Chains A and B, each alone.
Chain A
Amino acid sequence: MQFTFTDEQEEFRLIVRRFMDDKSPSTEVRKLMDSEAGYDPAVWQQLSEELGLPGIHIPEAYGGQGFGFVELCIVLEEMGRALLCAPYFSATALAATSIIHAGTEEQKLSLLPDIATGKTLATLAFNESSDNWSPDDTALTATATDNGFLLNGEKSYVVDGHIADLLIVVARTPGSTGSDGLSLFTLPGNGDGIDRRLLKSLDPTRKLAQIEFKQAPATLLGELNTGAETLPHILDLAAIALASEMVGGAQKMLSSAIDYAQLRMQFGRLIGSFQAIKHKCADMLLDVELAKSSAYYAAAAATDNTDDLPAVASLSKAYASDTYMKSAAECLQIHGGIGFTWENDTHLYFKRAKSSEVFLGDPNYHRDQLVLRWENQA
């Protein structure tokens, strides 16, 4: 198990960080969050061509960079820190991971290279309107016909679903229930029988769509009715990826709070010299570092595919969710009134923290999973 990053990984992190600092200052974030697409195609092209980021954990045999999950998590942490607006989590963390773990060899060869180069924007649509992030509640059906499968139903909270070229959809075989009869399907985002609507998201840097499927022709990804085997692992990896993104944002909130505490004077002294503020900052550091350790451990567990992966995936998601939300709230509090203004950047992170807290299952859900899964691995 890897407990620290290698020199190469640290160097890679610096390269990604410099890119994000350069391409994703808050002026850009503010511009893009107001746009419908939600990203800058020129920056997407650069991060694809110059850094190869969309294919970071895609094996070289499928046109990717062939790095591990740890490198993917480094990228996400840096993107989270810079609040990059780009369809990266959807395409690489969700869609590519789904294809790698569920697709047939032929499908990997045909689908992954274009995701790796950033040419295809893809996403995973699995949640519907329920509060439950387990795929067991899936209602959307895939009916086998002589001309292939037809999807009927609705997906919601689909990240970048309004712009994705390729949709990967969780559907069930009609008549099945629970974790039985679940399968993954692919279909083009602009295909027949698909109606997409961009939702108004609380966090404008994360675009969410509702997608309606009416007799939409789709292709089976991998084997029929094997979702119970593939989906939990895919969602665990997604949770770890999101935890990594969150700890980047949480670190940014801590740094921002410290910077302000060392700048703002009240009562004739820097507010950072008051214990009321410095103790808050010490607690933030404790949470941020422990959340990082959890995310790093989980990323290493994902790379090694260890037995404790399901438990630590939930642990890292819950820890990062609590920490990001708390860090954003405390950063805002340390800023005082200015922190509540639109002009101050704290709210951008606060909203990302809130959307990340809920997305892929809230901390209570993952805490419960942690305990239940702890037993299974023991």
Chain B
Amino acid sequence: MSEATLEPSEQAIREEVRAWVEANWNPDASLLAWRNKLIDSGWGCAAWPKEWHGRGLTISLGDAVDDELRKAGAVSVAKTGVRMLAAATILEHGDDMHKGTFLRRLLTGEDTWCQLFSEPGSGSDLAGLTTRADFDGDNWILNGQKVWTTSAHHAQYGMVLTRTNWDVPKHQGMSYFLIDMEQPGVEVRPLRQMNGHASFNEIFFTDAKIAPEFMLNKEGNGWKVAMTTLAHERRLADGIRSWGRGEKGQGRIYEELQTEVASVMEPYKWYPQRAGRVDLLIERAKATGKYDDPTVRQAIAKVLMMAKAAEWTGRRVKAANALGRPPGPEGSLGKLAGSQVARLAAQAHTLIAGNDALLTGEDGALGGIISEILVSTPAESIAGGTDEIQRNIISERGLGLPKEPRTDVDRPFREVPRNTVS
């Protein structure tokens, strides 16, 4: 980077952050007090606009700021979880009232958010949703059901995508609202999964109310707003993995943080098993003696091959991005590779476990970790876009193959055949 550039240099920014942290960091402060101070300083979300708690820095300089905070052991603002999807969406589509009402409390961690998009009747086909919002002259009245909602049981607010017009094609009849979850018309029920965990919820709306000013963007523009939220979902997934790391120490603030992390991480505690636990394969094969069986080694090799090749593909994409090269189709493959790795890993773990694969919990292999792998990996090829949808995206956008003819987008949504479940 040339020295004449107007953008402050990364080095200068890092030094400024270090000095600020040194002067202000206090591990015995309350989490809330510290975060408010961090938000006031603009260092908590340095890549956000100056008028909204940030410093208007580029994403990469913002990352450098976070890196300095981490190095100093300073706790960050509540930057992960679904709340950051809400923040990104509000920053892009919200007005000053929305930003003023929600952003600070979201960053302090006082407010938890949930995303209310998927429905029992519309999974892959999100735009086919049927939760309705009708205007009664004062408020929008919500009726319908959402599903796969993380954190809803302790969320104060939700981002909800609804149908407000049934007489236009499906993508044009949706509107996007910010909803108060703590009201009588909203019922939250945990949804138990096949692996016994209940990481998600079902939400039932019965005449729930939303004041008109809590619509984001305009009536009928809900799909566009939802695309903003979804575009940030990938980055959220990365954020979850690093959540709570490096922020350990002595003092009141760390204790409060631990409680917060435990609550945020609760739904995700089985996610390592969902991905297949490739890291355990060789170690387990040796411990059980199955390492000597060439068929087991074949199974392990198939997992390692795909897992390493997928990792290297990710590195290739990153390296090409860093050089400013245009993205190729290889950038869209990670999800599909991940679900195949998980499936192959479950097969290999089954071979290694032998008869212990019949058992679970404390009677199961490795204190139940292995059985949790076996009954969690099916989620990998469904959650966040099924393998089949991924293949459509890859073949249409990556390879340029034609779309399948559709019968649902050229007519009013009212006339589109749909599930009776709703």
Q: CB distance B301 to A319 under 8 Å?
A: no
Q: CB distance A318 to B305 under 8 Å?
A: yes
Q: CB distance B333 to A281 under 8 Å?
A: no
Among B5-13, B109-117, B314-322, B360-368, the stretch in contact with A: B314-322
A3 CB–B CB distance under 8 Å: yes
Which residues of A are found within 8 Å of B390, using beta-carbon distances? 282
B289–chain A nearest beta-carbon distance, Å:
15
B339–chain A nearest beta-carbon distance, Å:
11
Question: What is the interface of chain A, defined by CB distance below 8 A to chain B?
Answer: 3-4, 258, 261-262, 269-270, 272-275, 277-279, 281-283, 285-286, 289-294, 296-297, 312, 315, 318-319, 364, 367-368, 370-372, 374-375
Which residues of B are found within 8 Å of A293, using beta-carbon distances? 309-310, 312-313, 315-316, 330
- Of A4, A291, A374, the most chain B CB neighbours within 10 A belong to A4
B230 CB–A CB distance under 8 Å: no
Among B68-76, B126-134, B395-403, B411-419, the stretch in contact with A: B395-403
Which of B282, B392, B403 interacts with A371 by CB under 8 Å? B282
A373–chain B nearest beta-carbon distance, Å:
10
Which residues of A are found within 8 Å of B304, using beta-carbon distances? 315, 370-371, 374
Q: CB distance A3 to B395 under 8 Å?
A: no
Q: CB distance A370 to B301 under 8 Å?
A: yes
Q: CB distance A315 to B308 under 8 Å?
A: yes
Q: CB distance A289 to B313 under 8 Å?
A: yes
Which residues of B are found within 8 Å of A286, using beta-carbon distances? 333, 336-337, 340, 394
A3-B318, A272-B401, A290-B333 known, 8 other contacts, Cβ within 8 Å: A273-B403, A275-B404, A282-B394, A291-B309, A315-B309, A319-B305, A319-B309, A374-B282
Q: CB distance B396 to A278 under 8 Å?
A: yes
B137 CB–A CB distance under 8 Å: no
Q: CB distance A372 to B297 under 8 Å?
A: yes
Q: CB distance A262 to B402 under 8 Å?
A: yes
Instruction: Return 20 A-B CB contacts under 8 Å, by A number.
Output: A3-B312, A258-B399, A273-B404, A275-B388, A278-B391, A278-B401, A279-B388, A282-B391, A285-B398, A286-B394, A289-B330, A296-B312, A296-B316, A315-B309, A364-B298, A367-B302, A368-B297, A370-B304, A371-B282, A371-B301
A279 and B297 contact, Cβ closer than 8 Å, known pairs A3-B318, A274-B404, A367-B305: no
A134–chain B nearest beta-carbon distance, Å:
15
Which residues of B are found within 8 Å of A3, using beta-carbon distances? 312, 315-316, 318-319
Which residues of B are found within 8 Å of A269, using beta-carbon distances? 402, 405
- Of B305, B320, B388, B405, the most chain A CB neighbours within 10 A belong to B305
Which residues of A are found within 8 Å of B336, using beta-carbon distances? 282, 286
Q: CB distance A367 to B301 under 8 Å?
A: yes
B179 CB–A CB distance under 8 Å: no
CA distance A371 to B152 in the complex (A): 44
Which residues of A are found within 8 Å of B401, using beta-carbon distances? 258, 261-262, 272-273, 277-278, 281
Which residues of A are found within 8 Å of B306, using beta-carbon distances? 290
CA distance A278 to B394 in the complex (A): 9
Q: CB distance A281 to B297 under 8 Å?
A: no
Q: CB distance B333 to A285 under 8 Å?
A: yes
Q: CB distance A4 to B323 under 8 Å?
A: yes
Residue of A nearest to B340 (CB): A286
CA distance A312 to B305 in the complex (A): 9
Which of A282, A294, A297, A364 interacts with B399 by CB under 8 Å? A282
B346 CB–A CB distance under 8 Å: no
A-B pairs with beta carbons under 8 A, tally: 125
A280–chain B nearest beta-carbon distance, Å:
9
Which residues of B are found within 8 Å of A289, using beta-carbon distances? 313, 329-330, 333
Residue of B nearest to A258 (CB): B399
Residue of B nearest to A257 (CB): B399
- Of B294, B298, B309, the most chain A CB neighbours within 10 A belong to B309
CA distance A287 to B56 in the complex (A): 41
Which residues of B are found within 8 Å of A374, using beta-carbon distances? 282, 304
A272–chain B nearest beta-carbon distance, Å:
4
Which of B308, B319, B340, B395 interacts with A4 by CB under 8 Å? B319
B121–chain A nearest beta-carbon distance, Å:
21
Which residues of A are found within 8 Å of B313, using beta-carbon distances? 289-290, 293
Which residues of A are found within 8 Å of B181, using beta-carbon distances? none
B300 CB–A CB distance under 8 Å: yes
Q: CB distance A370 to B305 under 8 Å?
A: yes
CA distance A3 to B302 in the complex (A): 22
Which of B294, B309, B398, B404 interacts with A290 by CB under 8 Å? B309
A311–chain B nearest beta-carbon distance, Å:
9
Which residues of A are found within 8 Å of B400, using beta-carbon distances? 258, 262
Which residues of B are found within 8 Å of A292, using beta-carbon distances? 330
A290 and B301 contact, Cβ closer than 8 Å, known pairs A262-B400, A278-B395, A281-B399: no
B92-111 contacts to A, CB under 8 A, are none
Which residues of B are found within 8 Å of A370, using beta-carbon distances? 301, 304-305
Which of B312, B319, B395, B404 interacts with A282 by CB under 8 Å? B395
Q: CB distance A273 to B405 under 8 Å?
A: yes
CA distance A289 to B325 in the complex (A): 17
CA distance A292 to B294 in the complex (A): 27
CA distance A285 to B301 in the complex (A): 21
Residue of A nearest to B394 (CB): A282
Which residues of B are found within 8 Å of A315, using beta-carbon distances? 304-305, 308-309
Q: CB distance B298 to A368 under 8 Å?
A: yes
Q: Interface digits, B349-391 against A, CB 8 Å rule (1 contact, 0 not)? A: 0000000000000000000000000000000000000001011
CA distance A371 to B309 in the complex (A): 15
B212–chain A nearest beta-carbon distance, Å:
42
CA distance A318 to B297 in the complex (A): 14
- Of A258, A277, A371, the most chain B CB neighbours within 10 A belong to A371
Which residues of B are found within 8 Å of A294, using beta-carbon distances? 305, 308-309, 312
Residue of B nearest to A2 (CB): B319
Q: CB distance B305 to A279 under 8 Å?
A: no
A290 and B399 contact, Cβ closer than 8 Å, known pairs A3-B315, A367-B302, A374-B282: no
Q: CB distance A4 to B316 under 8 Å?
A: yes
A274–chain B nearest beta-carbon distance, Å:
7
Which residues of A are found within 8 Å of B391, using beta-carbon distances? 275, 278-279, 282-283
CA distance A253 to B49 in the complex (A): 49
Which residues of A are found within 8 Å of B396, using beta-carbon distances? 278
Which residues of B are found within 8 Å of A275, using beta-carbon distances? 388, 391-392, 404
Q: CB distance A367 to B333 under 8 Å?
A: no
- Of B315, B320, B396, the most chain A CB neighbours within 10 A belong to B315
B208-238 contacts to A, CB under 8 A, are none
Q: Interface digits, B275-302 against A, CB 8 Å rule (1 contact, 0 not)? A: 0000000100000000000100110111
